[in-house]
Amino acid sequence: MEFFKHQPLMLFIATGVVGLIIGSFLNVVTFRVPIMIGRIWRKECADLKNQKLLFPLSTKDGPFNLWRPGSCCPHCSSVIPIHHNIPLISY
């Protein structure tokens, strides 16, 4: 903390970087959580009726949570490289 007292500009830069990281994570959360909840609800409804799912949970049968699958284009499903997920730098 002593460093930031002598270098106030670095405090603003560090605060900005932390803000970008938190904002990027919150963007992922707000996009994926409703999809995750919908998948859980559909599975529970099918279990309640003791039936097979009439439609797949997603286009991919793999896990869908905050960490998996990796980022992809919502239109063409091409994988987005990890360096394109860095806020501001990838802009």
Instruction: Locate the domains of the chain by residue range.
Output: 9-57+69-85
pLDDT, tens only, 51-86: 666 666 555 567 778 887 888 888 888 888 888 887
Which one, of 22, 59, 51, 57, lies nearest residue 36 by Cα? 57
Q: Identify residue 70 by its one-letter amino acid code.
A: G
**Stretch 8-32: mean pLDDT, rounded?**
91
DSSP string, 15-65: HHHHHHHHHHHHHHHHHHHHHHHHHHHHHHHHHHTT---SS-SSSS-S--S
Q: Which long-range contacts (CB under 8 A, 24 or more apart) does 47-56 make?
A: none
24 in Cβ contact with 85 (< 8 Å): yes
Tell if the pTM clears 0.85, that is, is over it: no
